[in-house]
Amino acid sequence: MSDPNEDQEEKNTDGMEGESGAETIHVSGIRSIRDLIDRVTGRNLDDLSLGDAGYAEQWPFPFFAVVGQQEMKLGLILTLINPNIGGVLLVGPRGTGKTTSVRSLMDLMPYVYESNCYYGCLEEDVETGGLESLCPACAEKYQKGEPLSSLRPAKLVELPLNAKMEDVLGSVDEKAAASNRLRVRRGILSHADKNILYIDEVNLLKDEVVDVILDASAQGSYTVRRGQFAATYRSRFTLVGTMNPEEGTLRPQILDRFGLRLMVEGLEDTEERLSAYKLARAYMTNPKRVVEMYADETMIARDEIAAARKLIPEVDLPEEIAKIGLDLIRELEIASLRAEITLFEAARAMAAADGRTVVEEDDLRQVATMALRLRRSKFIEDYFTDQEGEEVEIDKKLEKIMGGN
Ligand SMILES: [Zn+2]
């Protein structure tokens, strides 16, 4: 699989050329460009397979060229800073720039150690499973003291909508199986390890596929079994999903697994819409020029995200701030413990983004909505109310019978 980020360096050093009319645009962003381009070029997500380094992948639309959508941008950046937030779900209608924005994260990605090997072998595998857990080539390298991984920008791994179980988990490498060692052709989940796994329209994905992904995401690993063989692969990815509520709902247990919930509505301001259009046109004419227009902001943001990521382990959540958060969750009658994990981890990311090591009230305020919305369940509320009624009834009847004796 080719690495779309490989082109990054070239892109930043190439000279400017051509004319795009982009100079006349005085805006801080754009929306829905990708959708527009997709329509114009007749290309849609179904055509994109894993590792397809197509034209637009080489020149992702700049994150800061997305017009408006402050909440979405903030939420996505927080997720890059602190993977413990538990991923993010972008909720909104078609054509509001959700996919564009997610793909534009490519230029902001933090660096991670990634395996150099087809089978995904890592040095850390030796600590848990010994030399046996490496493929023969990597075992040899390891014994010679050669590195098995290199530092690279994290990738955006896209899950195709028509992904089959085999694509997601991987499949048996017949040659290896014949030599009595199970090696699995790494699936999407394994490729997503330490990266971002992007699922567009998660509500349209097959239930069985969603379940496997969520389990792997929760455990940070997954096991593939074929007969007597079993192989475990790491899958510590950040999940980013989108859904269009017009096209069906998400099962509550799936919704619960997403950390931040970001609402992405269409731009209402005419000026903003015009800016978005102009930038879209400029990007279509000369994507490189648009990328260069935002190169400085992109570089600064990437450095700040990296610095905030380093700071995260030191960020402290004072007890009085935690109490405010827990009071809020209790007031909202949210049951899932994932609510406070996301709320507090997002608040810690806010503090880190600000270069602080202590969470303040305002950090909590800024992330509360995106961490806690869509978490209340009318069904569960009613269910427990009914249960309480039943408990009272059981007690009463018991009293009556006992009293009658
Ligand atoms: Zn290997």
How confident is the model over 114-143, as a mean pLDDT?
87
Confidence of residue 140 (pLDDT cuts 50, 70, 90): very high
Residue among 181, 338, 356, 373 flagged as catalytic: 338
Residue 32 has pLDDT above 90, yes or no: no
pLDDT at res. 358:
98
How confident is the model over 76-83, as a mean pLDDT?
93
Give the CA dihedral 124, 128, 134, 138, nearest 10 degrees.
Answer: 30
pLDDT at res. 30:
26
3-state secondary structure of 336: coil
332-373 confidence digits (pLDDT tens): 999 889 999 999 999 999 999 999 999 999 999 999 999 999
Range name among 149-163, 166-180, 349-363 with the lowest pLDDT average = 166-180
Residue 128, judged by CB atoms within 10 A of its CB (0-12, 13-18, 19+), counts as exposed
pLDDT at res. 45:
27
Centroid of ligand 1 to alpha carbon of 141 (angstroms): 9
Residue 114 has pLDDT above 90, yes or no: no
Confidence of residue 177 (pLDDT cuts 50, 70, 90): low
Centroid of ligand 1 to alpha carbon of 137 (angstroms): 6
pLDDT at res. 51:
37
Confidence of residue 8 (pLDDT cuts 50, 70, 90): very low
Residue 397, judged by CB atoms within 10 A of its CB (0-12, 13-18, 19+), counts as exposed
Q: Please provide the distance, in angstroms rounded to a whole number, between the alpha carbons at the two ends of the chain.
A: 77
Q: Quick check: 45 and 202 in contact, CB under 8 A?
A: no
Instruction: Spell out the alpha helix ranges (H) of 220-311.
Output: 252-255, 270-285, 287-293, 295-311
Residue 208, judged by CB atoms within 10 A of its CB (0-12, 13-18, 19+), counts as exposed
Give the residue from 297, 379, 367, 393 showing the smallest Cα distance to 333.
379
41-57 confidence digits (pLDDT tens): 322 323 323 333 344 44
How confident is the model over 125-130, as a mean pLDDT?
82
393-404 confidence digits (pLDDT tens): 999 999 999 986
Residue 231 has pLDDT above 90, yes or no: no
pLDDT at res. 387:
81
Most confident among 10-14, 185-189, 214-218, 347-351 (mean pLDDT): 347-351
* Catalytic residue status for 338: yes
Residue 295 has pLDDT above 60, yes or no: yes
Centroid of ligand 1 to alpha carbon of 148 (angstroms): 7
346 or 297: which carries more pLDDT confidence? 346
Centroid of ligand 1 to alpha carbon of 99 (angstroms): 33
Residue 176 has pLDDT above 90, yes or no: no
- The overall longest dimension of the chain from CA atoms, in Å, is 96
3-state secondary structure of 83: helix
Residue 22 has pLDDT above 50, yes or no: no
Centroid of ligand 1 to alpha carbon of 182 (angstroms): 13
How confident is the model over 242-267, as a mean pLDDT?
88
Range name among 98-107, 172-181, 288-297, 328-337 with the lowest pLDDT average = 172-181
Contacts of 301 (CB under 8 A, 6+ apart): 63, 64, 77, 108
Q: Quick check: 249 and 271 in contact, CB under 8 A?
A: no
Most confident among 121-125, 183-187, 241-245, 248-252 (mean pLDDT): 241-245
pLDDT at res. 179:
56
Centroid of ligand 1 to alpha carbon of 181 (angstroms): 13
pTM of the entire structure?
0.77
Centroid of ligand 1 to alpha carbon of 83 (angstroms): 26
pLDDT at res. 2:
43
pLDDT at res. 44:
30
Q: What average pLDDT does the chain have?
A: 80
3-state secondary structure of 124: helix
Centroid of ligand 1 to alpha carbon of 150 (angstroms): 13
Range name among 12-21, 247-256, 323-332, 345-354 with the lowest pLDDT average = 12-21
Report the C-alpha gap between 303 and 290 in whole angstroms: 20
Most confident among 20-24, 139-143, 183-187 (mean pLDDT): 139-143
Centroid of ligand 1 to alpha carbon of 120 (angstroms): 6
Angle, CA of 393, 395 and 396, to the nearest 5° = 65
pLDDT at res. 178:
54
